[in-house]
Structure 1
Amino acid sequence: MPTVHQVATSPAPAAPAHPSVGAATALLDAYGTGARFLATPSRTLLAHGVRHEVPHSAEPLSERVAEVLAEARRSGHPWPMVIGAIPFDPDAPAALVVPETLRSGPPLASDPLIGLPSAGPAPADWSITPVPEPDVYGKGVASAVDRMWKGEFNKVVLARSLELVSDRPLDIPAMLQRLARRDPSGYTFALPTAPGRDLLGASPELLLSRRGDRLTSNPLAGSTPRSADLAEDVRRAAALLQSAKDLHEHAVVVDAVHQAMAPYCSSLEVPERPTLLRTATMWHLSTTVTGVLTRPDVSALEIASSLHPTPAVCGSPTDVARRVIRETEPFDRGFFTGMIGWEDATGDGEWVVTIRCAEAEENRLRLYAGAGIVSASEPEAETAETAAKFRTFLQAVGARL
């Protein structure tokens, strides 16, 4: 029999809090208008000031970013990082900088304090103007479907917008709090794109990340609105997994991502069937594509630029879909369906598709939402899908259609 020793005991000291408690939410709480905030499933970033700005020129954007990061290192920056936003139009100026100061923390989802509720939106009188009107958007969808049946193209993503005007100045930090706490596992951002103008949102879609020689892309295509009723919510999710229309739309996007990543990879893994990804307002068909990078000198942004725009935000063939978008949408997308993210001097980075977003300026917001149109699309259903996607942001500001 083993000997049992009786020892006197005293109350044990309180265990120290886990280091992640409060580390990420402190950065969220410290955000103020004009700063740059980006939360991803790998980290939380808060940046202030501008040390270097990525210039606009005809040179490929990934090369301009690499040059700016190299210059920052030469000037004494020990670990420079570019952070910011890239527009949908590749010829338009990006809003990318090496910040003066950068604080980094763990992911928001790892911080228990992210579960605390945010304050509700302050009462405001919102004026909402759809651009275009829903019936006009539906006619655009019908026209695109007709052209697809005639063989002009295979898919196009058509967007509409809402212009919101408040009777008081916008509280962007409060909006960011509600977006981040509603979907802490996604990609939440607030980034200045021009003096007095900010881009903020909560995107579910990773275009490309690079960590060392490991590449990951998570294309989303095919979606349905969530329901507050649990049984109905489950039914909708199950129906999405069986929808021939949505599975076809998703397969087109995954194939495009596969083909674009293949030249950069020594091996590539593409699951045969999609899974489900949920946000607070939507179910999405999701496939995680992973690869091993062949050449270490290829940056995350170079590969992301070759992927962008995928059929999930533009269409197929890309050139024809871009033309249909220009002909149909009565606005410039700006940074909507572009990219937001970060990249460091080693080429590691995360680039995210800019959806579920709004542009904020003074007392005005411009919201965007799009739907993938294929030959089986119905105008009423696609209009309803865009309305459901608007809910992410409408709920963050206390407005409704």
Structure 2
Amino acid sequence: MTTSVHEPVTTPPEVTGTATALLDDYRPGSDRFLATPHRTLLGHGTTAELPHGDGSLSERVRALLDGRRRAGHADAVVMGALPFDPAAAPALAVPEGVRWAPPLREDPLIALPVPPARDAADWQVREVPAAEEYGAAVAAAVARMRAGEFDKVVLARTLELTGPSAPDLPAMLRRLARRDPAGYTFAVPSGPGRTLIGASPELLVARDGSRLTANPLAGSAPRSADLAEDVRRAAALLESPKDLHEHAVVVAAVRAALAPFCTRLDVPERPTLVRTAAMWHLSTTVTGELARPDTTTALDLASALHPTPAVCGSPTDLARQVIAESEPFDRGAYTGMVGWQNADGDGEWVVTIRCAEAEGGLLRLFAGAGVVAASSPEAETAETGAKFATFLNAVGATL
């Protein structure tokens, strides 16, 4: 069994506290925070917002950053979130200033405890849809797949949490980051009065010069507190025909989307495992060399990939239709992407999962499961419940 494990690092004294300082300095509304396995960013304020209009998203971002560069701001970046629906308005902006630091996982202070979350009794939890309704939607999709209509669909559900006061977003962000410091932790404005906050395990794509990296995840199993059982679940996931098929569909789509941009694309034959505090995931790390790094940006690559079958299904158009028919809510930023890009075209875009959207006193959590012909309503409902655990732990609520 192969797992993704980060080797211990020797931390230079000047690194200690630099990443966690950005985490501690985050303020909702005006700031944009993103931590990845390679860096930590905190954007303050807003110089310019990306308009919602004609032309491709990538072209509008390029024009915005080129304009900032011509104005003497060569280090400008765009940060924020993009919705699941490409036709919906983006929430991208150029901050007034961006502070950079090494990864959170390299900062020893990330191991320090944080105050406990709000007591579970303080939260009112409403499931949308209810678990039995979600199971029925899964069963209906499975029946259609067994009839040959389509191959896969990702169906999601939400939890609506309300409490006696507005949620403490900075405290939630700190708990999420400390729970999985090697993952992708974010908090960004997602619309007027709304904040998208979460800790995703999945990189959609990153560009660094001529090199690209993508890390599709598909096929999951909940972790166990018992070590022997946890290892058994991981081993079973690596051998699960249902999950291996689900993963193969996603990897094939990623290969097909990225190949036209590359002179070389390396795709491992079999997946490995990555783990979060709550879940095991089948993972494939795809790397490649760009044919035209002078014109192909990170967002070009992300737009070509989104939505992968890992968050939508296959074929894409029919899966979107099934999602619209089955989910009694608007996904918004959920299963979209969150990230950053600079004027050179380098950047990182992360799949927006294990997340919630805060608006006033309401906190809306999202979780989905990949449904294929071999799926069962009970298993997929349980999988969404396990995925909710990442965020429920951060807010002190229970399902």
- TM-score grouping bracket, smaller chain normalisation: over 0.9
Q: Deviations over 1:161-192 (max 9, x none)?
A: 00000111210000000000000000000001
Q: Which amino acid aligns with 2:66?
A: A
Return the alpha-carbon distance in structure 2 between the equivalents of residues 122 and 313 of structure 1: 31
Match of 2:18 in 1: 23
Return the alpha-carbon distance in structure 2 between the equivalents of residues 207 and 194 of structure 1: 22
TM-score by structure 2 length? 0.96
Q: CA deviation at 1:58?
A: 2.8
Return the alpha-carbon distance in structure 2 between the equivalents of residues 272 and 115 of structure 1: 36
Q: Deviations over 1:299-337 (max 9, x none)?
A: 010111000000000000000000000000000100000
Return the alpha-carbon distance in structure 1 between the equivalents of residues 301 and 226 of structure 2: 41
Match of 1:160 in 2: 157
Moved over 6 A (4+): none
Secondary structure of 1:305's aligned partner: helix
Secondary structure of 1:202's aligned partner: strand
Give 1 or 2 for the bigger CA radius of gyration. 1
Q: CA deviation at 1:76?
A: 1.9
Match of 2:103 in 1: 107
Return the alpha-carbon distance in structure 2 between the equivalents of residues 352 and 231 of structure 1: 32
Match of 2:289 in 1: 292
Return the alpha-carbon distance in structure 2 between the equivalents of residues 141 and 196 of structure 1: 33
Which of 275, 281, 295 does residue 278 from structure 2 map onto? 281
Return the alpha-carbon distance in structure 2 between the equivalents of residues 42 and 79 of structure 1: 18
Which of 19, 42, 46 does residue 46 from structure 1 map onto? 42
Return the alpha-carbon distance in structure 1 between the equivalents of residues 202 and 54 of structure 2: 28
Does the aligned pair in 1 maintain the 2:74–2:343 contact within 8 Å?
no
What are structure 1's unaligned runs of at least 5 residues?
1-15
Q: Deviations over 1:108-151 (max 9, x none)?
A: 01111111122211336111110000000000000000000111
Q: Which amino acid aligns with 2:235?
A: A
Secondary structure of 2:150's aligned partner: coil
Which of 57, 62, 66 does residue 66 from structure 1 map onto? 62
Number of corresponding residues: 386
Secondary structure of 1:370's aligned partner: strand
Matched, 1:353 2:351: yes
Q: CA deviation at 1:195?
A: 2.6
> What pairs up with 1:219-230 in 2 under 5 angstroms?
219-230=216-227
Return the alpha-carbon distance in structure 2 between the equivalents of residues 259 and 119 of structure 1: 46
Q: CA deviation at 1:338?
A: 0.1
Return the alpha-carbon distance in structure 2 between the equivalents of residues 78 and 305 of structure 1: 24
Match of 2:92 in 1: 96
Which of 331, 334, 358 does residue 333 from structure 1 map onto? 331
Matched, 1:204 2:201: yes
Return the alpha-carbon distance in structure 2 between the equivalents of residues 122 and 251 of structure 1: 40
Q: CA deviation at 1:196?
A: 2.0
Q: 1:62 to 1:262 in 2, by over 3 A?
A: same
Q: Please identify, of 32-41 and 275-284, the stretch whose mean Cα deviation from structure 2 is larger.
A: 32-41
Return the alpha-carbon distance in structure 2 between the equivalents of residues 285 and 374 of structure 1: 16
Match of 2:6 in 1: none
Match of 1:364 in 2: 362
Secondary structure of 1:312's aligned partner: coil
What are structure 2's unaligned runs of at least 5 residues?
1-10
Return the alpha-carbon distance in structure 2 between the equivalents of residues 118 and 186 of structure 1: 18
Return the alpha-carbon distance in structure 2 between the equivalents of residues 17 and 140 of structure 1: 52
Q: CA deviation at 1:17?
A: 5.8
Return the alpha-carbon distance in structure 1 between the equivalents of residues 232 and 41 of structure 2: 37
Does the aligned pair in 1 maintain the 2:173–2:187 contact within 8 Å?
yes
Which of 67, 72, 76 does residue 76 from structure 1 map onto? 72
Q: Which amino acid aligns with 1:56?
A: H
Match of 2:178 in 1: 181
Percent identical: 67
Secondary structure of 2:68's aligned partner: helix
TM-score by structure 1 length? 0.95
Match of 1:7 in 2: none
Does the aligned pair in 2 maintain the 1:52–1:72 contact within 8 Å?
no
Q: Please identify, of 275-284 and 112-121, the stretch whose mean Cα deviation from structure 2 is larger.
A: 112-121
Q: CA deviation at 1:287?
A: 0.3
Secondary structure of 2:310's aligned partner: coil
Secondary structure of 2:273's aligned partner: strand
